[in-house]
A and B are shown apart, each in its own frame.
Chain A
Amino acid sequence: MKNADKFLRTFSARAIRPLVVAIACASASALSVTAPVLAADFEGARIEMTMPFKEGGGTDTWGRFYAPLIGEQLPGQPVVVVKNIPGGGSTSGANQFQMRAKADGRDIFASSGSTMFPYILGDKRVKYEYKDWTAILASPTGGVVYISSDLGVKSIADLAKLKDADLKYASQGATSLDMITLLSFEVLGLDVKSVFGMKGKGEARLAFERGEVNIDDQTTSGFIKKVQPLVDEGKAIPLFSWGVLGKDGKIQRDPTFPDLPSFVEAYEMVHGSAPSSERFRAWKAFFIAGYAAQKGLFLPKGTPDDVVQAYRDAAAKAIAAPGFADKAQDVLGDYEQAVGDEASKMFSEAVSMDDEARAWVINWLNSKYSAGL
C-alpha cells in the first residue's frame, strides 16, 4: 500500500490540475460544436436512426436504403446515419430510443414488425410506448403461402384435401413474424405441425427445398427470387397471398400477385363466409404490424410539429423523386409507401387490438406453444 500512498500524493500534485484543464477544454470544444439548431433546419447536423437490429438484416437494409434519401430532402440536407442497437429481439434498441431520444429531430427510430409484436403481446421486456411516437413513414410488404406439389393439391380450391395431410411448417418461433402464418393456419382450420428454431426465412425455405417440411411462406421479394423458380419447376404450388390493406381498411388482392387470392378470399372459399371471429381480428392486427405496415420510421415523444412536418414532407418528396421506383424495386417491392397520417392510422390500428382478441391470442400462444406470456 506504500505505492498507493505515494501515488496519491503524486497524483494530487501533478495530475488533477492538467486533467481538469483537459476535461474542461474538451467539454468546451464539444459544446461549441453542438450549437442548438434552428427548428426544422438540419444544416450540418448528424441525424441518428436507431436501428434495433444487427447490421445486414432486412430492416437494417431498409433503413440504410432510406437514410440518404430522406437526408437529402430534409431542410439543410443533414447526414443520416444508422445506429445499430441489437438485442432482446429488437426490444433493447426500442427501449433505449424511448428512454434517451431527444425530441429535436436528431433521433429517429426504425421499427419493424418484430418490434411491434412484443409490444402488442405485452412482453415484459417492452418499456416503450408506440402511442407516444409519431409515424413518418410506413413500408408495406406482402407474402405468399405455398405448399409442396407432392401433396397433390393444385390450388386453394382443393384445400379440403389438405385436412388429412401431414403438414409441417418450419418457423423461427411462435411469437416471431411467423405468428401470422401460424394464426392463419388456425383461422383456416388447418392442422399444421410447427417445427421451431429456424434462423430466418431463408433456412425455412431451405427446409422446404430439402423436403423436410411441405408448407411454407415467404415475403414478396423472397418468393419472387427464390420460390418462383421452384413453382416453374413444378415443385411448389402457391396457395394464397396475404393481400394488402386498402385505404378503406379492407384486405385486397396483392397487386404483385393478381392471380392469387388474398387470405380473406381463401377463408371465404373454405368457410363460405367472410371471417369475423376474434381470431380473425387478432390475425388482422398482426397482419398490419407484420405486413401492411411492417417497417416504419418514427420520431420520439414531444417532437415539435414543424420538425414532424419537415420529416413527413421529406419522406413524401423522397418517394416522389424521379427514379425512386427503380431504386426501390429490390428493397421495397412494388408496394405503395404510406406517409404521415396514413402511416399513423395503420400503426394505431395495429397496436390497438381489442381485449377479447388479445386474450384469445395470448391464451392460444400459451396453451399451444408454451410461449409463457
Chain B
Amino acid sequence: MLDTLTTSLLTVLSMQHILYLAGGVFLGLLIGIFPGLGGIAGLSLLLPFLYGMDPISALAMLVGLVAVIPTSDTFTSVLMGIPGSSASQATVLDGFPMAKQGHAARALAAAFTASLFGGLFGALMLTVFVLIARPLILAFGSAELFMLTLLGLSMVGVLAGNSLVKGISACGIGLLLGCLGAAPATGEYRMSFDNTYLMDGIPLVVVGLGIFAIPEIIDLLRQNRAIAEASELGSGWINGFKDVIKHKWLSIRCAVLGTLVGALPGLGGSVVDWIAYGHAVQTTKAKDNPQFGNGDVRGVIAPESANNAKEGGGLIPTLLFGIPGSGSMAVFLGGMVLIGLEPGPAMVGAELGTTYTIVWSLALANVIGAGSCLLLSKWVARLTLIPYALMAPFMLMVICFAAFQATRSLGDLVALLGIGVLGVLMKRFDWPRPAFLIGFVLAGGMETYLYQAVQFDGWSFLTKPGVLIIAAITVASIYFAVRTKPADKTDDSDETTDTQAATEAPRRRASNLRPQIVFAFAVVGLFGYGLYDALQHSFLGGVFTAGLCAFMLVMSLIVLVKLLRGRLEDPVNFDNEVEAGYSSDNSITSLPHYVYWLTGLVLGCYLFGYLIAIGLFFVIFLLLKARTSMIKTLSLTGAALAFLVVLSHLMVLDMPRGLLQEMVQLPWPLS
C-alpha cells in the first residue's frame, strides 16, 4: 500500500498532471463563484473534452473541478448572502452578517482556511477509509438511513429561531414541498395538478436560490445601498486564520461529520453544512459568548470544514460501489466511465493506484483552490462596495440562469419566483428558512427509507442495533439543543416569555398582526390541502404525507391561534417590516415593489424568451433604478448578454423560449 501511495504521489506531482489539475481547479473556482451553478454545470462543461484524453489527465481535471467548488462558492455566501451552491447555504447565516459588519475579510479568510483544512482532512480520511469502508457502508441499510434523516431533522430544534412551533411548521412546509411529485412506493403523482413540471418535484437548486437568494436581493434593493455598511472591507485576514486555529477541534469534528455524511450513499451531501452548523451551535457553551446568526465566526468555520471534507467522503461510495452520493458525484461517475474507469471493488484492488491518484489530486486541488481564493478575495470582496442597484440585474441574471439549469424548462423560472415569494414572506415573518430547507432536503429520503425499511424488516426495524445507536445520538442532539436554547426562548410557558420580553426593552414589536395572520392562515390551508390530496391516493402513496400534514396542521394551528389571541409579546409575533424599522422609514421601498419587478421578468421570459427578457430587464432596471447613462447601460447589458450567449453555447443549452419564439422563427441566439 505504501508503495502504491508513493507511486501515485509521483504521478500527481508530474508537471502535466499539475497543469490539468490546475485547469480543473480554475474552472471549478469560476463556476463556484456564480451562485447556483455547482458541480453539475462545471462537469457538463468539461465532459465534451474528456473523451479521448488520457485517463490520468482527465481524472486530474475532474477531481480539480469537484474539489474546489465548495471552496469558491463561499464568496457569494459571505459577501452577498446568496448561497453559492447547496454546499454553503449554512455559511450564509453568520458569514453574511460578518460581511455587513465590515468583517468580510476575516470571514473569508476563516472560511478558506477551514475549507482547506476540511479538504485535506477529507483526503486523508479517504486514504485510510477507502480500504475498510465497504463493510461500514453495507452496515447502513434503509432502516439506519431513515434514522439518519431523523437525526438531520433534529437540527431544526437548533435552527428554529425564537418560536419552536413556527420552526417545526416551517420545516413541515419544506417536508411537504419535498414530497411533491411521484410517491416512492407507487409512483403516484402528489399535489402536482397534472403539471409535468411539478410531477418531477421542484429541484433543490431552485428552492435554495428562491428561499435564500431572492429575499436577500430584494431586501438589499429596498435599502438601496452597497452591501457593506462599513466603508472598509476591514483587515483581519490573519484573524480569520487564527480563528480556525483557535477552533481547531470544532473544525476537526465538523470535517469528520462531513466525511461520514458524504460517505453514506443516499443521505445526500446537501445537509452536511446544516448538520455541521447545528453541531457548532449545540456544542458552544453559553460562557463562550455565542453570537450565532449575528456574525459568529464559528458559524462559518463549521460548515466550511464540513463541506470540503464531504467531497472526500463522497468519493468512497462513488468509487467502491458506483453509487453517487450527490448530483456532482453522479456526473463525476459519468466522467469516469467515459474515460474508461469502471468503479467497483477493483478500485481498492487492482486499481488502487488510480484511487490514490484521485486522493492526492484531491488534496492538491484543495491547496491550489484555497490558495487562489485567498489571493482573489481582496478583489472579489470589493464587489460589496458597489451600489446594489448596479449589481442586482447581474445577480438576477445569474440566478435565473442557474435555476434554469435544473431542468431546462420555463417552469424553473416560475418555480423560482414562487419559492422566492415564499422566501420573502418567511423572512418577513421570521418563519426560519433553514428549518424549511432541511425539511425539503430530507423529505424524499425520509419517506423512501421509512417505506423501504418497513417493507424489508417490518416495524421490527426499530430494534436493529444501528437504529438504536442513531436514535440515542438523535436524543442527545435534541438534549444539547434544548440545553443551548434556554427554556424561556421556546414558547412552552407564557409566564417566562413575559419576563423575557420585559427585560428585552428596546425591541420594536408589530402591533398590527393581520399580515402575519394571513400568512399563518395560508400555511394552515396548505397543510389542509396536503391532507386532502394525500387521501386521494392509495394507502402507500399517501400515508406519509397524510401523517405529516395531520401533525403539521396541529403545529400551524397553534401558531395561528397564538396570533389570533393577539398577544404582542408572544414569540410567534414577528414582523420584520416593523422590527427592522422599514415600515416607519420612507426611504425604504415597499416590499411588493421588487416582487413585481421579478414577476415582470418571469412574465417577459414567458412572452419573449429569456434572452430578450433579461436584456430588456437590464436596460429598464439600470436606467430607472441605477440611473446609469444610456451608454453605460447599453454596454453593461451587452456584456451581460454576450456572457450568457457564450456560456450557453459552450454548455449546449437552449435558453428558455417564449411565445414569441413559438410563433416566429428567429435567428440564433434569439431563438
Chain A residues in the interface with B (C-beta under 8 A): 3-4, 7, 10-11, 14-15, 18-19, 22, 26-27, 30-31, 33-34, 48, 54-57, 60-61, 64-65, 67-68, 81-89, 91-92, 124-125, 168, 170, 173-175, 193, 195-197, 199-200, 202-203, 205-207, 209-210, 212-213, 221-222, 225-226, 229, 330-331, 369-372
Q: Tell me, in angstroms, the Cα distance from A206 to B327 when the chains sit together.
A: 19
Given A205-B321, A207-B452, 13 other A-B contacts at CB below 8 A? A15-B619, A19-B619, A54-B330, A57-B334, A86-B407, A92-B196, A195-B452, A197-B184, A210-B141, A212-B456, A225-B342, A330-B340, A371-B187
Whether B188 is near chain A, meaning CB under 8 Å from some CB there, is: yes
Whether B186 is near chain A, meaning CB under 8 Å from some CB there, is: yes
Q: Tell me, in angstroms, the Cα distance from A258 to B638 when the chains sit together.
A: 63
Which residues on the A side are within 8 Å of B266 (C-beta)? 199, 203
Contact yes or no, A55 B323, CB < 8 A: no
Contact yes or no, A84 B408, CB < 8 A: yes
Q: Tell me, in angstroms, the Cα distance from A13 to B184 when the chains sit together.
A: 58
Q: Tell me, in angstroms, the Cα distance from A359 to B342 when the chains sit together.
A: 40
Instruction: Select which of B185, B331, B623, B654 is within 8 A of A10 by beta carbon.
Output: B623
Size band of the interface chain B makes with A = 35 or more
Q: Tell me, in angstroms, the Cα distance from A48 to B342 when the chains sit together.
A: 27
Interface centre among B187, B342, B541 (most CB of A within 10 A): B187
Which residues on the B side are within 8 Å of A203 (C-beta)? 265-266, 323
Contact yes or no, A15 B630, CB < 8 A: yes
Q: Tell me, in angstroms, the Cα distance from A45 to B182 when the chains sit together.
A: 40
Which residues on the A side are within 8 Å of B137 (C-beta)? 206
Contact yes or no, B187 A173, CB < 8 A: yes
Which residues on the A side are within 8 Å of B669 (C-beta)? 30
Q: Tell me, in angstroms, the Cα distance from A82 to B653 when the chains sit together.
A: 9
Given the interface contacts A22-B634, A369-B186, does A7 sit within 8 Å of B624 by beta carbon? Answer: yes
Which residues on the A side are within 8 Å of B200 (C-beta)? 87-89
Contact yes or no, B634 A18, CB < 8 A: yes
21 A-B pairs, CB-CB below 8 angstroms? A4-B624, A30-B670, A34-B668, A54-B327, A54-B330, A55-B40, A55-B331, A56-B334, A64-B334, A64-B338, A82-B652, A83-B654, A87-B408, A92-B196, A196-B184, A196-B185, A197-B185, A203-B265, A206-B323, A225-B344, A331-B337
CB-contacts of B309-362 with A (<8 A)? 321-324, 327, 330-335, 337-338, 340, 342, 344-346
B262 to chain A, nearest CB (A): 16
Whether B43 is near chain A, meaning CB under 8 Å from some CB there, is: yes
Contact yes or no, B323 A221, CB < 8 A: no
Q: Tell me, in angstroms, the Cα distance from A213 to B141 when the chains sit together.
A: 11
Q: Tell me, in angstroms, the Cα distance from A370 to B536 when the chains sit together.
A: 12
Which residues on the B side are within 8 Å of A370 (C-beta)? 186, 188, 538, 540-541
Instruction: Select which of B265, B409, B540 is within 8 A of A206 by beta carbon.
Output: B265
Q: Tell me, in angstroms, the Cα distance from A168 to B457 when the chains sit together.
A: 11
Chain A, Cβ-Cβ closest to B329: A56
Whether B448 is near chain A, meaning CB under 8 Å from some CB there, is: yes
Which residues on the B side are within 8 Å of A31 (C-beta)? 667
Which residues on the B side are within 8 Å of A369 (C-beta)? 186-187
Q: Tell me, in angstroms, the Cα distance from A369 to B323 when the chains sit together.
A: 27
Q: Tell me, in angstroms, the Cα distance from A3 to B389 when the chains sit together.
A: 16
Chain B, Cβ-Cβ closest to A327: B340
Which residues on the A side are within 8 Å of B592 (C-beta)? none
Whether B142 is near chain A, meaning CB under 8 Å from some CB there, is: yes
Contact yes or no, A200 B452, CB < 8 A: no
Contact yes or no, A55 B456, CB < 8 A: no
Whether B391 is near chain A, meaning CB under 8 Å from some CB there, is: no
Per-residue 0/1 for B223-239: is the Cβ within 8 Å of any A Cβ (1 yes, 0 no)?
00000000000000000
Which residues on the A side are within 8 Å of B337 (C-beta)? 61, 330-331
Q: Tell me, in angstroms, the Cα distance from A175 to B182 when the chains sit together.
A: 12
B324 to chain A, nearest CB (A): 8
Q: Tell me, in angstroms, the Cα distance from A55 to B651 when the chains sit together.
A: 11
Which residues on the A side are within 8 Å of B619 (C-beta)? 15, 19
Per-residue 0/1 for B626-649: is the Cβ within 8 Å of any A Cβ (1 yes, 0 no)?
000010011000100000000000
Which residues on the A side are within 8 Å of B40 (C-beta)? 54-55
Chain A, Cβ-Cβ closest to B323: A202
Instruction: Select which of B142, B623, B666 is within 8 A of A11 by beta carbon.
Output: B623
Given the interface contacts A56-B330, A64-B338, A65-B338, does A87 sit within 8 Å of B196 by beta carbon? Answer: yes
Chain A, Cβ-Cβ closest to B456: A212
Contact yes or no, B455 A193, CB < 8 A: yes
Q: Tell me, in angstroms, the Cα distance from A195 to B141 when the chains sit together.
A: 14
Whether B52 is near chain A, meaning CB under 8 Å from some CB there, is: yes
Q: Tell me, in angstroms, the Cα distance from A65 to B265 when the chains sit together.
A: 27
Interface centre among B322, B331, B670 (most CB of A within 10 A): B322
Given the interface contacts A56-B330, A64-B51, does A200 sit within 8 Å of B141 by beta carbon? Answer: no
Which residues on the B side are within 8 Å of A197 (C-beta)? 184-185, 448, 451-452
Whether B383 is near chain A, meaning CB under 8 Å from some CB there, is: no
Whether B11 is near chain A, meaning CB under 8 Å from some CB there, is: no
Instruction: Select which of B197, B324, B334, B624 is within 8 A of A3 by beta carbon.
Output: B624
